[in-house]
Structure 1
Amino acid sequence: MSGRADSDLSPDTRADDADDAGHGDDVGHGDDAEGAGHGEHGEHGEHGEHGEHGEHDEHDDDTPHRARRARWAAVGAGAVLTLAGAAAALLRLTGSVPALVPAAYACGAGACALAAVLGSRGRTRRALWLLIAGLMVMALGDQFD
């Protein structure tokens, strides 16, 4: 039942719903509080000092390592894709394809090179999106072949 006051229920049903709703609110409030870590057990919840907050502190120690790995991944992927795009542009340039194809590969390689630079400076999200854009430009150039 919705428990709304304007429902068309008989008075005895409303009284039962009000009793159930009152009991349900207490149980729900306790569940929500424990789930959030602010239950009756104090500031740290039932897990104590090493519960949810202790695990969070362990992840804080790992954050510099994750950032370093993300930077290296952005630099590595950008460098590999730059070399691949430049090689493809040179190979397509020697063939009999429209000039748009090697230009697209070169532009995509340039975008990937810029992504490698951004990744080395810690702008890994922008580097990821630039890598995606560079690959899309290269794929678009390949469609004209």
Structure 2
Amino acid sequence: MADPVRRVEDAEELDEPDDPDDPAEDARRARWSAVGTGAVLALAGLAAAVLRATGGAAPALAAAAYAVGAALCALAALLGARGRTRRAVWTLVGGVMVMALGDQFD
């Protein structure tokens, strides 16, 4: 029968540094990358939308495209936080493409 109390050897194994080839560590890093990138791009798109909307000379379609792209990037950050990194990356690509399209309207 297994001893329910942890032995000293088991506690020492927990203090070892993470294995760089560990798939769980790679997944964790991908999640945080998706969350961080999505948040930064969402803030940048929101700032661009506000600047285009208050600038007056730019068409409203440019501001709307930046706002939609920012919303997609925020959605990508949420997907990344939930572990859906592949969907998050493709949503980030879509959001940046929408913002780039909005830049063409300018």
Shorter-chain TM-score above 0.5: yes
Measured on the aligned residues, the alpha-carbon RMSD in Å equals 1.3
1-side partners of 2:73 and 2:105: how far apart? 20
Off by >3 Å, runs of 4+ in structure 1? none
Q: TM-score, normalised by structure 2?
A: 0.79
Q: Whose radius of gyration is greater, 1 or 2?
A: 1
2-side partners of 1:78 and 1:64: how far apart? 21
| More relative contact order, 1 or 2 (CA 8 Å, 6+ apart) | 2
- Per the alignment, residue 131 of structure 1 pairs with 92
- Per the alignment, residue 41 of structure 2 pairs with 81
Flag structure 2 segments of 5+ consecutive residues without an equivalent.
1-18
- Per the alignment, residue 120 of structure 1 pairs with 81
2-side partners of 1:82 and 1:140: how far apart? 16
2-side partners of 1:110 and 1:142: how far apart? 16
- Per the alignment, residue 62 of structure 1 pairs with 22
2-side partners of 1:135 and 1:109: how far apart? 8
- Per the alignment, residue 62 of structure 2 pairs with 101
Identity, in percent, stands at: 70
Q: TM-score, normalised by structure 1?
A: 0.58
